[in-house]
Chain A
């Protein structure tokens, strides 16, 4: 196995969107970065949501549309004055369309260190059944 050197991490500005619906809270709306990968049993979605606690995170599933929205906590206290501001905080919002092969009842969510891991199990294929014929 070849050893990989760690490449250095590049800074990225958060991508801001103007959302189609009005926000009830003022502030910018950002698209969180996600990784989506698939194993034979599950579809897993991992999203970076720094500053969002489990209480402020909403995961809604309606008609096959999965909506992630989270409110990042206000950082600075009111007495503090800005010296340098390189990033803003606001609301995170992203929507995905799920295919029918997801078992919606079994979706699990885990939030740790600002990273949300959403595990979406796939519907198990109907197990083949042998049908016996009863003779009357």
Chain B
């Protein structure tokens, strides 16, 4: 009985590292979370509506946002040298008093977001389109932001 007590009967856990169990649980939770999120990439979640995707090619920056249900004339978009500001209001038309809601998942409300761009843009040539609820803003890069090839002169 003494042998069993030393090698790990019940009650022996008091002298082991009490955090072992917590470590094991934390590792398993990490694996679980990895599995839930698809594990492919973590998105930056700014927490501000609307969520935006920003891409670039050699000449332009493109900013896209999902804004379903907001007609293009209700969006307020303005741009300065290197920031883009999008604001507006999403209206969910309230139905008459006879209507009974069974489910209400779509949010309504006002939003405003300012995003800084990685470089200066040519504010005169910025264009925005809204199609199927997706806003696409095309911002041509200022000349100073465009990449320029530099040739190396042989000595």
Contacts and interface: CB of A to CB of B under 8 A. Distances in A.
Interface of A: 6-13, 16, 28, 33-40, 44, 46, 48-53, 73, 75-77, 79-88, 113-115
A84 to B, nearest CB: 4
B132 A75 contact: no
Instruction: Determine chain A's interface SS by DSSP, over half rule.
Output: loop
A105 B18 CA distance: 66
Nearest to A16: B38
Nearest to A77: B57
Given A6-B89, A11-B47, A50-B133, 13 more contacts: A8-B111, A9-B108, A35-B92, A37-B102, A38-B102, A39-B100, A44-B95, A76-B64, A81-B56, A83-B56, A85-B54, A86-B46, A113-B70
Contacts of B47: 10-11
Nearest to A41: B98
Interface string B59-99: 00110101111110000000000000000011010011011
Interface residues of B, number: 54
B45 interface: yes
A9 B58 CA distance: 34
A82 B106 contact: no
B144 interface: no
A57 B95 CA distance: 25
Interface of B: 38, 41, 43-58, 61-62, 64, 66-71, 89-90, 92, 95-96, 98-112, 115, 118, 130, 132-134, 136
Contacts of B55: 76, 80-83
Contacts of A13: 43, 45, 51
A80 B56 contact: yes
Contacts of A11: 45-51
B96 to A, nearest CB: 8
Q: Which of A11, A46, A86 has its CB near the most chain B CB atoms (within 10 A)?
A: A86
Contacts of A77: 57
Contact of A115 (B46, B64, B133): B133
Nearest to B118: A83
B43 A73 contact: no
